[in-house]
Amino acid sequence: MSKVRTVALIGLGAMGTALAQAFIRGGFSLTVWNRTAARMDVVVKDGASGAKNAAAAVAASPLIVICTIDKSVAAALLQQADVASSLAGKTVVNLSTGSVDEARAISKFVESSGGSYIDGGIMCYPRDIGKPATSVLYSGNAAAFEEHKEALAFLGGNVRYLGSDPGTAPTIYLALYAFYFGCVASFFEGAALAERAGVTPEAFRETSKIMLEVLNEALPDATRRIKSEDYSGEQASIDVHHAGQLVVRDAYKAENMVCKVTNAYIAYLERAQKAGDGPNDIATMYRAVKSTP
Provide the binding-site residues for ligand NDP, judged by CB under 6 A: 11-16, 34-36, 39, 67-70, 73, 96-97, 122, 125-126
Residue 96 or residue 284: which is nearer to ligand NDP going by CB?
96
CA dihedral 119, 172, 214, 202 (to 10 degrees): 50
Task: Please say which residue, 56 or 226, places its beta carbon nearer to ligand NDP.
Answer: 56
Smallest separation, CB 225 to ligand NDP (Å): 32
Residue-wise over 242-254: b if at least 16 C-beta within 10 A, else e?
beebeebeeebee
Q: What 8-state DSSP symbol labels residue 51?
A: P
CB of 83 to ligand NDP, least distance (A): 12
Question: Smaller CB distance to ligand NDP: residue 54 or 259?
Answer: 54
Instruction: In angstroms, give the least distance from the CB of 171 to ligand NDP.
Output: 15
At a CB cut-off of 8 Å and minimum separation 6, what does 246 contact?
266
- Closest distance of CB 98 from ligand NDP, Å: 7
CA angle 218, 160, 56 (to 5 degrees): 140
Nearer CB in complex with ligand NDP: 180/188: 180
Residue 124 CB, shortest distance to ligand NDP, in Å, is 6
Residue placing its CB nearer to ligand NDP in the complex, 48 or 238: 48
User: String of b and e for 25-46 (b: at least 16 CB within 10 Å)?
Assistant: ebebbbbbbbeeeebbeebbee
User: Do residues 241 and 269 make contact, with C-beta atoms less than 8 angstroms apart?
Assistant: yes
